[in-house]
Structure 1
Amino acid sequence: MTTSQTDPMIGRLIDGRYQVRSRIARGGMATVYLATDLRLERRVAIKIMHGHLADDSTFKSRFVQEARSAARLAHPNVVNVFDQGQDSDMAYLVMEYLPGITLRDLLKDYGRLTPEQTIDIMEAVLSGLAAAHKAGIVHRDLKPENVLLADDGRIKIGDFGLARAASANTATGQALLGTIAYLSPELVTRGVADARSDIYALGIMMYEMLTGQQPFQGEQPMQIAYQHANDAVPVPSSKNPAVPAELDELVLWATEKDPDRRPKDAREMLDRLIEAEKSIRGEATLQPTMVLPPAFDVVEGDTQIINPAIRQQVAANTPSAAESLTTATKRRRAKGWWLFALVILLAGLAGGTGWYFGAGPGSLVDVPNVVNQAPDKATATLTDLGFTVKQAQEYSVTVPTGQVSSTDPGADTPVNRGGQVTLRISQGPKPIELPALAGQPLDAVKAAITGQGAKVGETAEQFDGKAPAGTVLAATRATDGTDISGGGSYFEAATVNLVVSLGAIPDVTGKNVEDATATLRDVGLLAQSGPESYSDSIDKGDVISAQPQSDPVHKGDTLVLEISKGPEPVPVPDVVGKTWDVAKKALTDAGFKLKYSAIADVVPTAFVVAKVNPGVGERVEKGSEITVNFAGF
């Protein structure tokens, strides 16, 4: 039966965004699936907490902690965490998807790795872990299962579910977390973990990569834990003679029983590994030029015995390395007796310690979420859990005045029973004072609003002949429309709506209809032909004016075009029977051109108008020609 037929998660859409495609792996706390992020159209790995753990606040806290810890890191050797959330009763974590295998898979396939392969993998792991240690994060669960080897060659650390702040290194009374085969002595005996505990786990991993097996083995977890607390890790070369002395020393240094004698963090161990790599590879380049007998005699199977001649020569040339390893081994064995005594003492105190951390002052209780509750109710809830409570004030834009807006420590944070929790009570939004906004450029107004902690809301645009384009004309409160163009009191995170000038409407007077329409269209306005009117100054067919149909005018509004019919016709003056000098003046004053016998201009008073064409009283456009006839001619 296929996975898709047995696993109900296959095909499910999580949080309206992540489409589950197939199952990748299953662990004790969660199952990891391949999914598609429909919003960003990319493949992701989504870790979903097992349903039976959904009501356990400890596991939920670890789930959230993994997201927070990994999200603080941005390093090419750390798996990126994209999202974390809750869908119904299901907690989930979204990470980058890395097609490939884990270091555990590699060890299962190849047994042990070469020194060169071990160095390459350890450099990547230490680089990522160095970034975590620098950020104050202790992984606490380093093991081959959490080292991912991508198909494209990338190596990354994953699963920060047990991570804690590096300063939070006191015992918690909870069961030991992490895989027993990689736990440091201080975690076994005292429940204490810091960056040096991660270094111990890396030393065990390095031993396993070089030899193909873990240094301590047993049928019961307690047997393995006892060996971690009491026995020295043997040198890898005792199981694999091909391991260089430099890597022997690095493993022994990383797995010192006393944390103070280990590298203080991953950066220090990485620096030493790089030095060892240079030394090892430098020797490798010289080795072919040396004339020596075979270094190993094959006895049987895969067992190799160092040639006595070579052993004698190497011992003569490198006394410091041999003496260093011998001294370190003796020092480790000398510590065994007091560590054994310490384990016996701790076992004797287990009953008292269990009470202290389980129900006494040392127990940890998650701070409940009391946001939006009345202070009295929230105080009672916290007091019943054994916390001491104090109050403080803070401004809040999301919680009503007088209600609890936040707590310190925050919700779901583990705190010692009897510890103090501060309730912060909302005073409502923080008051702010806005400067005068009208008449200022839009960019300056936006900066003034956001600089006070408010937000810019709707920005309306309108044409205005008095203000340049981009000038703010008015400002109002989004909540009630109150005009605050001249500035005034408001509150943080509130919204201000603006009205901005588009400048003056283009003047299209004297343009033909086609050109006028195009000019208005260029600024977002529509044109419509309207009435025709007489005009002495605008040619017939051209635009006299563009009349808005609304006030104010916005983009998309329509203007009606008034079209010229040319000059208005006027009546021909009554000049019949009048002398030419009088008639000529009346006709020219009326704006007409004249056609007449030129001789009349010689003695104008002697000529009398007998007839005009067009006739007296007819309405004719100014500039029209009037024919004048004189009596007797």
Structure 2
Amino acid sequence: METPTPDPHSGAVLDGRYVLGERLRSDASGSAYAAHDRATGTTVVVTVLHPWLVGDAPAVHAFRGRAQHLEAVSHPGLARFLDHGRDGDRVYAVNEYLRGEPLAEVLDGAFPVHEPHRALTVIASVLEALDAAHAQGIVHGALTPDRVVVGDDGRAGITGFPLLFDAAEDEAPDTRTDVRAVGLLLHALITGEPADPGEARPLRPSALVDSLPPDLDMLVANATDPNPRYRPRDAGQYLTLVEQVMRSLSRPLEEGGADTTRPIPIAAAELPAPRRRPLRRRVPVLAAAVLLVAALFATGWALFPREPEATLPDLAGVAAEEAEARLESLGLGLVVRFRDTYHDTVEPGGVAGSEPGPGAVLAEGDAVMLALSVGPRHADVPDVVGDTENEARDLLREAGFTRIDVVQEHSAEQLPGTVLATEPAAGREGDREDPVVIRVSEGVIVPSLDGMTQEEAVDALTRVGLTAVVVEQHHETVEPGGVSAQNPEPGSILPEEGEVSVTVSTGPEPEEEPSESPSETPSEESGGDRDEESEDGDGDGHNDGHGGGQGGGWDDHSCSAPAWSPGTTYEEGERVSHNGREYESRWWNQDNEPDSGTLWGPWSDRGRC
């Protein structure tokens, strides 16, 4: 019988706080684990970057950057991101553990999926949560039934945000990607059947469920259209459509509240036939009844005034905050929602229109949709050639272009990350619904030289167009001739023929020989040590005046940097002394001994004290 391969992370403790347990899932980001947070005593989810990506500096940067962005998003329906960091060779992020039933299990029959209102309630809560993320410029990108959790109240929560996306994908996911994913969820909830994500036509649940209201078909078909251009722009816009359909559908009867009322049958034969009065005798009675009804109507009108009403003012061109204040001043408790729209004349942020339109009569609690201008649909592409990729992104966003595709190209003339060209070209008019392609100089990615000899390292750098600068230095654990360090680190990007410093081990430090002359005084011995240290040339300015003591031994007290202490937290750039050598922290770390022998660990060996 085969023995299953043990999980490389399960049971590990990150930074002395997060105890990793069962693996929940894996994706392009890494593996997610249920974990125990010792500091709070709660269950959390910890996503650990794949080991083969830890040496990929751009991947680590993207992973930690997205985790940091997600920490800024807060909504009851989103699993909050709580922390991120690095513990040795493990890069990780921590998010809240949402309790409830995964939608994937709900679809197996634990939920009455064929009731449209209940399905729409789940979908509306998913969209409310997604709307909060989309408002911060963050997409989920991998929303599936196993990443949606349904609580006891029937509302849904979203978890499983990927921290990296598969580079093999044709296009980066955007808000319309999330909308299609929600459409697939709605189709599954209505029909009870999982939808095919690769379907090339808009999905219509009426093909599987008879007598389905056409509005539901419209909701699913609009969201699952293969062409993103025809889908709702984002979660907020789709939520508006869902809520409209929810209001248009008649609500189902409450559970256990079936209408058992029946009209009481009356046999006409058992009732005596009414006698008719002569017309002349009925006229006074009818006139009196009319007067009585009129009096009662007038009295009732006075005693029971009509519900408050107001007319919707014309808010065109008014800023969103002012428009909302004006509607609030009507005193009707209106539900005000917003959606984005292009407009050629109204300044961004101003009201371009409303639903219903100006002059409509509003009653208490009515909903008003305000269309806010995001400026014209077409704009001139700014000139970003020669700028860095980040600078180009900022300028394009300021011009209104939010869809930006990056194509990396080799360039011997430009530094890595420099924009070489754009499509459309600078000064040309671009459609803000279409992506702007920026071509960026890729440079050369520095390979990992871990475990190589000097000859192998020089050859590896030469083959990718980089220049090796060899530096020799003693090392306690790396064999002579082996690479003990490199600068810059693996994954960094350099221009072609850029230099990489390769530190090659010359073996451990030689032990100092005892003094041959017994007449030498300790001060003379100390002086000799200082001379040797000066001749070695590997000091960093901290060696003067710190002799090795009798017997040639070294200890932490001969270093100017504070001694390393277990349990102490060290930030990036801090220096410590340990076993006669000085180390500098590459990143935040704790309980990582400096001379552990890990080549790419959190400590950089700065030489003897």
Q: Does TM-score exceed 0.5, indicating one fold?
A: no
Higher Cα Rg, which structure: 1
TM-score (norm 2): 0.40
TM-score (norm 1): 0.38
Ranked by relative contact order (alpha carbons within 8 Å, sequence separation 6 or more), the top structure is 2
